[in-house]
Amino acid sequence: MDKLTHSAIIGTDVSRDWLDIHCLPGGQRQRLPNTEEGHAQIADLAASLNALVCFEATGGQEWRLWSALDAAAIATRQLPPAQIKAFAASRGTRAKTDRIDAELIARFMVFRPDAGRNLPHEKIRVLRALVSKRGQLVETRKRLLAQVKAHGKLGSSDIFASMDDELKTLLDHQIADLEAQIEQAIAADETLAKTANILRSVPGIGPVASTMLIAEMPELGQISGEQAAALTGLAPIAHDSGAMRGKRAIAGGRRLLRHVMFQAALVASHHNPVLRIFADRLRNAGKSHKVIITAVARKLVTIVNALVKADQKWRTQSA
């Protein structure tokens, strides 16, 4: 506990209905409802113990608790589930219950006091929600179009044509409406608007990529290029042992952002004058397409991070 600035840690396992907590160093356990009343009880306990409250990212189940604790000025940290799972494996913990998970989360926080991330500002949370919903609708439209194509091959497209056209029109309108809301949310905030202008000045970074960078990486411009690549999951991980030199690979990071950066890298490798030369050099060296796109995506992330940090728009010589 000596590495932490708080007197106690409250590990919290968040489910739809319940909050299981484990306090360190005391070892107290408790189950509370995942309601406003339960949130207030955790806030009161954390305030009395001068505790940091930590929990896993659970697909949004933790957001209500996170917001309530932030409003109560309680220090919080959201932790990556993959790291908690790896920590449990390193301890030989195979059993899994809500109580056990709460203790693991607390002990991991003691072991890695620098892990996790703080609650993003409300404007970022709103933007992230809009971006997430847009992504869901785009994926739904993609599946619909795949089904339409499949019906065409089976000769049954006429049966569903009217229904499919109506559904696609609805999705198109909803996606366009969300994109307008996203643009308005960015334009309404001077800092976000400035960051978006810097990002979109880079050939290869369009509206979707710039919005995803703002929403999923609020740390942009405040960290090093290596850290930015790692957060995106684009930093190569070594697999060496003794004289053996294994193949480097990427892993972890923020999956949705990484996927968008791959799409941006495909565009940048052809239309960004600096990254096109970089990609051609790798291609001439015999590198595979996947390696080239990954390298371009990584370089793209480090470039935009440097530009935001310097508060400068893209210039060819900037890379």
Residue 246, pLDDT > 70, answer no
Residue 42 and residue 32 in contact, taking contact as beta carbons nearer than 8 Å: yes
Banded pLDDT at 307 (limits 50, 70, 90) = very high
At 315, is the secondary structure helix, strand, or coil?
Answer: coil
Burial class (CB within 10 angstroms; exposed 0-12, middle 13-18, buried 19+) of 249: exposed
| Strands, sheet with 76-79, edge to edge from the N-terminal-most edge strand | 29-33, 18-24, 8-14, 51-56, 76-79
Q: What does the alpha-carbon distance between residue 228 and residue 236 come to, in Å, rounded to a whole number?
A: 12
Residue 3, pLDDT > 90, answer no
SS (H, E, C) 3-70: CCCCCEEEEEEECCCEEEEEEECCCCEEEEECCHHHHHHHHHHHHHHCEEEEEECCCCCCHHHHHHHH
Render pLDDT for 126-155 as a digit per residue (tens, 0 to 9). 898 899 899 999 999 999 999 988 888 777
Q: What is the pLDDT of residue 97?
A: 83
Render pLDDT for 90-128 as a digit per residue (tens, 0 to 9). 887 776 788 888 999 999 999 888 887 777 777 888 898
* Residue bearing the bigger pLDDT, 50 or 116: 50
